[in-house]
A and B are shown apart, each in its own frame.
Chain A
Amino acid sequence: MSHSKPDTVSAVLARGRLGIPSVVFFVIAAAAPLTVVAGGATTGYAVTGVTGIPVAYLVVAAVLALFAVGYVAMSRRIVNAGAFYTYVTRGLGRPAGVGAALVALLAYNAMQIGLYGGAGAVTAQFLADRYGLDPAWWVCALMVWAVVAVLGVARIDLNGRVLAVVLVAECVVALVFDAVMVSHPAGGTVAFDTLAPSHVFAAGIGAALVTAITGFVGFEGTVVFSEETKDPRRTIARATYIAVAVTGLLYGLSAWAMSVATGPDRIVDAARADGTDLIFNLVSPYLSQSVVTVARVLFITSLFAALLSFHHTVARYLFALGRERVLPAVFGRTSRRTGAPKVGSLVQSGLAFAVLVGYALAGADPIVHLFFWITVTGGLGVLILMTVTSAAVVGFYRRISHTEGPWRSLIAPLTATLALGGILTVTLREFDTLLGVAPDSPLRWAFPAAYAAVALLGIGWALLLRTANPEIYHAIGLGADSDTGPLRAPDTVRQPA
């Protein structure tokens, strides 16, 4: 390294680069802490009837931190590192990659569309309480949908500074609520029952674990920013660990605090009775009404931030797949004036609209049937993706020559694969508990089967491309870099056929 040479290039490019806090803010905003605390955790208690939700959040945080070790290490060596299917392509081959891509599309769409149920119901409730209006949940959901659809195609994201302020406010509110709840325990004693590690081996833990994973979805987005950070090696890794740690502790603490306030034996009944109002009802006797109102507004804004963030995620996936021409090339086009991946954005909005109308016509419950069922199904999809991605990290490092130590290239990803695979197994076994349906209900198989179907479809499509259109086949996983595919090898690895 020479220090005598001028380095204007580095200096100029360093301007406007992201530091650790910005990256953390962007991804935690997508995970939407208040949505998880007020919506996910309470509905999780209510639908699954499992009291081990708090410990599940902590266990999942630990497993995801382990997963992040190999994931972040591999992200530095590949292009299009923002998408899970790229890892799968590089580690396990192109057919598996396309299968993963379709699973990801389904999963993120499910996450996003499910959130409309929460946003619609919570907004309707808020308008009813505050202003005495009585709109149907789907009217509110469609209003939110319209705003997301417009912002999506106009490529407007929430401003980083606004996001940071809202996020900090959300965390402060959650912590204040936790303090209030813990200082007013049911029966006068603070109980730690819901944090007992024994829950990990109790019945229904699979349902609790996938509920917890759903709350973390979005943290994997740190790597999208890897080329825009000051120090890609450190910034992304640290931001990812910080995001997982902060959200994990916050979720675990808040879910536990709720069980303290109601008493561990009553938390499930209380959650069933109050739904997403539980946390607000528990603290309102001890706090001024305006604080609770602000918290309710923040709940809605956090849902909105998550909706917009997952909308952009789906549009990005569709764009990357369109650029590779795995999906029709029209998905790879952007709006000339805004640079929005407009076709992907419009298709996602169209799909969400159809689902919302379907739910409204069917008269289904927005919180249980849309918000909880569909987002945890999304969580299941992301769990599948993370399991496969973790295995792909192991496969990737076995095939290249590298200087990465055994911890990052083998031990951590392998352990994470086993842990995530274990969670996946119990989740599938207990999917009836998760949905709160009878053990012989066909629904318990319908949701997981959808993932199997699209994965097979993707694998079949890739195999078809291999014979019919090798040029496209070879660009799989390159995303926006697909133009460079025919000219150079994407990385030092020989791709499996």
Chain B
Amino acid sequence: MTSTPGGEYAPHLREHPVPSRPVRAVGSAAAHAMRLADEFFYLAHDDQTGRPRLFESALAHGLAAALLAELHWEGRITFERGYVRVVRNAPPKDWLQHLVLDRLIAEPQHTATRTWLAFVATTAYEQVATRMWQLGLLRQHQVGRWWRQRTAYVPADMNTAAWSWARLSYQLRNYQRLNAFDVALAGLAMHTQLDPILLDGAPLAARTFLRQQVEQAHPPLRDLLADLGAVVGGAVLSHRTA
């Protein structure tokens, strides 16, 4: 590894150049520092109803990968040839990142990226939803008939929720280079098979462009995404209704 993980890309994280033409209500978007898992959560759910756009295991593993990628960008961990390595122990500001990093530090006997994806995936949905709810990004809703009631999360603001979808979709269709944050988000979508929602009706060239953009990602991120793709594919292959 030649570069410090996260180092060269860090400036992109909190700057989001508005696309040359506004897409949906720009004013309401990106008011806070965006975090990858939150944005992936938005992308993977309907912006109005909050219903998932993705099957459960792909969603859970996508969120897990997003959380690990957040830690990578905070300069705490890196990915190499299928393994996770902690590079800096200092606690991150965000409580959820902190929680995941603590586990990684506490259990160094597990190093395979796939093990961590599987582990974080077991709790990622609730955790990310809780984090977003605390910030007022999601509202809790009781759904279902009385015999199977559960808490669902609905985006508090439709425009905020649709922002990353609109941004990615617009940029990909217009062959505009994505910044590092969006490359990661698009990569997560591509490897969880969520990309059709970004490219619905777009020409084949847009799909190729997406692939090219994702392939230019930082090597540790590409390594994480490859494992994510394999885990999601594996879930399809060994599916059973337990």
Question: Residues of A with Cβ closer than 8 Å to B?
Answer: 2, 5-10, 12-13, 15-16, 26, 79-80, 82, 155-160, 224-225, 227-228, 312, 316, 319-320, 323, 332-341, 479-481, 483-484, 487-488
- Judged by DSSP, the binding face of B is helix
Q: Contact: B196 with A336, CB < 8 Å?
A: yes
- Give the nearest-CB partner of B123 in chain A: A12
Q: Contact: A9 with B103, CB < 8 Å?
A: yes
Q: Which residues of B, 163-199, contact A by the 8 Å Cβ criterion? A: 191, 193-194, 196-197
B25 at the interface (CB under 8 A from A): no
CB-defined contacts of B193 to chain A, threshold 8 Å: 333-334, 336
Q: Which residues of B, 50-105, contact A by the 8 Å Cβ criterion? A: 52-58, 81-82, 103
B32 at the interface (CB under 8 A from A): no
Contact of A480 among B107, B194, B237, B241 (CB under 8 A): B237
CB-defined contacts of A2 to chain B, threshold 8 Å: 109
Q: Contact: A337 with B55, CB < 8 Å?
A: yes
Considering the chains assembled together, what is the distance between the CA atoms of A146 and B168 in angstroms? 39
Q: A5-B109, A16-B242, A480-B233 are in contact. List 17 more A-B contacts (CB 8 A).
A: A13-B118, A157-B240, A157-B241, A158-B241, A224-B237, A225-B240, A333-B196, A336-B53, A336-B55, A336-B194, A479-B233, A480-B232, A480-B236, A480-B237, A483-B191, A488-B81, A488-B82
B239 at the interface (CB under 8 A from A): yes
Of B110, B122, B196, B236, most A-chain CB atoms within 10 Å: B236
Q: Contact: A334 with B118, CB < 8 Å?
A: no
Q: Report the minimal beta-carbon distance from A64 to chain B, rounded to whole angstroms.
A: 22
Q: Report the minimal beta-carbon distance from B65 to chain A, rounded to whole angstroms.
A: 12
CB-defined contacts of B151 to chain A, threshold 8 Å: none
CB-defined contacts of A82 to chain B, threshold 8 Å: 237-238
Residue interface mask B105-123, A partner, CB < 8 A = 1: 0111110000110110010
Q: Report the minimal beta-carbon distance from B178 to chain A, rounded to whole angstroms.
A: 19
CB-defined contacts of B238 to chain A, threshold 8 Å: 82, 224-225, 227-228
Considering the chains assembled together, what is the distance between the CA atoms of A9 and B64 in angstroms? 14
Kindly count the residue-residue contacts between A and B in the assembled complex, taking CB atoms under 8 Å apart.
117
Q: Report the minimal beta-carbon distance from B218 to chain A, rounded to whole angstroms.
A: 13
Considering the chains assembled together, what is the distance between the CA atoms of A340 and B122 in angstroms? 21
CB-defined contacts of B131 to chain A, threshold 8 Å: none
Q: Report the minimal beta-carbon distance from B46 to chain A, rounded to whole angstroms.
A: 11
Of B55, B106, B226, B239, most A-chain CB atoms within 10 Å: B239
- Give the nearest-CB partner of A161 in chain B: B242
- Give the nearest-CB partner of A323 in chain B: B233
B5 at the interface (CB under 8 A from A): no
Q: Contact: A335 with B55, CB < 8 Å?
A: yes
- Give the nearest-CB partner of B52 in chain A: A337
Considering the chains assembled together, what is the distance between the CA atoms of A157 and B81 in angstroms? 34
Q: Contact: B230 with A334, CB < 8 Å?
A: no
* Chain B interfacial residues counted at CB < 8 A: 43
Considering the chains assembled together, what is the distance between the CA atoms of A15 and B197 in angstroms? 33
Known: A5-B109, A488-B81. A481 touches B230 (CB 8 A): yes
Known: A6-B106, A334-B55, A483-B191. A12 touches B119 (CB 8 A): yes
Considering the chains assembled together, what is the distance between the CA atoms of A5 and B105 in angstroms? 11
- Give the nearest-CB partner of B234 in chain A: A480
Considering the chains assembled together, what is the distance between the CA atoms of A341 and B223 in angstroms? 24
Considering the chains assembled together, what is the distance between the CA atoms of A256 and B58 in angstroms? 49
Considering the chains assembled together, what is the distance between the CA atoms of A82 and B106 in angstroms? 34
CB-defined contacts of B82 to chain A, threshold 8 Å: 484, 488
B222 at the interface (CB under 8 A from A): yes
CB-defined contacts of A158 to chain B, threshold 8 Å: 241
- Give the nearest-CB partner of A312 in chain B: B239
Considering the chains assembled together, what is the distance between the CA atoms of A156 and B225 in angstroms? 28
Q: Contact: B107 with A160, CB < 8 Å?
A: no
Considering the chains assembled together, what is the distance between the CA atoms of A481 and B191 in angstroms? 11
Considering the chains assembled together, what is the distance between the CA atoms of A160 and B54 in angstroms? 24
CB-defined contacts of B230 to chain A, threshold 8 Å: 79, 480-481, 483-484
Contact of A7 among B55, B107, B227 (CB under 8 A): B107
- 14 A-B pairs (CB sep. < 8 Å): A7-B107, A7-B109, A8-B107, A13-B118, A156-B241, A157-B239, A159-B242, A225-B238, A312-B239, A332-B233, A336-B54, A337-B52, A484-B226, A484-B227
Considering the chains assembled together, what is the distance between the CA atoms of A12 and B110 in angstroms? 13
Q: Report the minimal beta-carbon distance from B81 to chain A, rounded to whole angstroms.
A: 5
CB-defined contacts of B56 to chain A, threshold 8 Å: 339
- Give the nearest-CB partner of A226 in chain B: B238
Known: A12-B122, A339-B58. A483 touches B226 (CB 8 A): yes
B229 at the interface (CB under 8 A from A): yes
Known: A336-B55, A339-B57. A319 touches B107 (CB 8 A): no
Considering the chains assembled together, what is the distance between the CA atoms of A5 and B52 in angstroms? 37
Considering the chains assembled together, what is the distance between the CA atoms of A473 and B227 in angstroms? 20
B235 at the interface (CB under 8 A from A): yes
- Give the nearest-CB partner of B228 in chain A: A483
Q: Contact: A337 with B103, CB < 8 Å?
A: no
- Give the nearest-CB partner of B207 in chain A: A329
CB-defined contacts of B235 to chain A, threshold 8 Å: 339
Q: Report the minimal beta-carbon distance from A204 to chain B, rounded to whole angstroms.
A: 39
- Give the nearest-CB partner of B229 in chain A: A483
- Pairs A-B, 7 closest by C-beta atoms: A480-B233, A339-B55, A483-B229, A484-B226, A483-B226, A481-B230, A157-B241
- Give the nearest-CB partner of B219 in chain A: A487
Q: Report the minimal beta-carbon distance from A492 to chain B, rounded to whole angstroms.
A: 13
CB-defined contacts of A155 to chain B, threshold 8 Å: 239
- Give the nearest-CB partner of A162 in chain B: B241
CB-defined contacts of A12 to chain B, threshold 8 Å: 119, 122
Q: Report the minimal beta-carbon distance from A103 to chain B, rounded to whole angstroms.
A: 19
CB-defined contacts of B223 to chain A, threshold 8 Å: 487
Considering the chains assembled together, what is the distance between the CA atoms of A484 and B110 in angstroms? 20
Considering the chains assembled together, what is the distance between the CA atoms of A79 and B115 in angstroms? 15
CB-defined contacts of A26 to chain B, threshold 8 Å: 240
CB-defined contacts of B116 to chain A, threshold 8 Å: 9
Q: Report the minimal beta-carbon distance from B29 to chain A, rounded to whole angstroms.
A: 24
Q: Report the minimal beta-carbon distance from B169 to chain A, rounded to whole angstroms.
A: 15
Considering the chains assembled together, what is the distance between the CA atoms of A336 and B46 in angstroms? 13
CB-defined contacts of A15 to chain B, threshold 8 Å: 122
- Give the nearest-CB partner of A83 in chain B: B237
Q: Report the minimal beta-carbon distance from A141 to chain B, rounded to whole angstroms.
A: 24
Q: Report the minimal beta-carbon distance from A73 to chain B, rounded to whole angstroms.
A: 20
CB-defined contacts of B54 to chain A, threshold 8 Å: 336-337
Q: Report the minimal beta-carbon distance from B226 to chain A, rounded to whole angstroms.
A: 4
Known: A157-B240, A159-B241, A484-B226. A337 touches B53 (CB 8 A): yes
